[in-house]
Amino acid sequence: MCLKMEQLLIDAERIKSLEIQGATNIAINAIQFLSDFAKRLKSDNLEKCFENLYKAVDILIDTRPTEPAMKNGLKFIMSKLEKEKESCYAEFISDVIEKYKNQYYNMLQTAKKRIAIIGARRIPDVDKKIYVMTHCHSSLVTAILLEAKSQNKNFKVINTETQPRLQGRKTANKLVDAGIEVTHVVDSAMRWAVRHFEVNLIIIGADSITSEGTIINKIGSRLLALVAHEEHVPFYVASPLLKYNPETNLGILETIEMRDPKEVWEKPPEGIEVLNPAFETVSRRYIDGLITEAGIFASSHVPNYFEKWYPEMV
């Protein structure tokens, strides 16, 4: 195997092994890995370059089946490259990819900044301290909470540990470093925490959004949504429109990723089957609003907003 492909496989393994976490971070790293791969290509044969690039895209997409932000980014770059194919020389392909990589990166960052501002408005500016709850780690939810903190809003965060990889600790650390009060609870204490602290608002992130307005997020998200429904607590999902999967509009179902059982129990006794689903769905009926760069609206409206904001990706 050629060295340029070996390095790509090493990079891809960083995503697959969960060294790189968070849908937005995965997307940013994947498009960077594609750009780096293109720079290693030394062929003057244009068709061969495109063949290798599409192999690289397939390798990166296969690392995580439930990451539309990554898929949309890789497909965005390749569709742009295809349009310039006739006027492009093999030696300049890496420059073209770098240009569109930066363009997609800027889309993600612009969306994140807008979502932080819009989402922070959902946290009321009141004298009495309120409680905001979240699950797992979402850079977007963290950005919303940090923005609310910068506005001196009076709130405390309840967050879950998020078994089995404990991504909730990452959220807790980032918030505490910013001076936000955090109470950290085990996943199974979700309902108890909502009732005990009289949580005012719940905000989670998303890894994927379907054409029906269903969101896919870390396992435990639906349980928290059901608790919110039972306790009449507003439940919001923060996500850029770029996490919408256009393929679901054609009837393709999102895949629920099953991860290594050893994450849960490294050496279980013989005869015990250990299952480790990484994600689950949350129906639109339990989502009070989707917080996006285009505003807050019902999650079922995502296809229309996606087409309006990102027509080149439809």
Instruction: Out of 36, 187, 207, 288, pick the active-site residue.
Output: 207
164 prior amide bond cis, ω within 30: yes
Query: Is 136 considered catalytic here?
Result: yes
Check if 36 is active-site.
no
Instruction: Read off the amino acid at residue 126.
Output: V
In the set 136, 177, 187, 288, the catalytic residue is 136
Count CA within 13 A, CB hemisphere, residue 252: 13
Task: Answer for the pair 313, 245: CB distance below 8 angstroms, yes or no.
Answer: no
Catalytic residue annotation: 136, 207
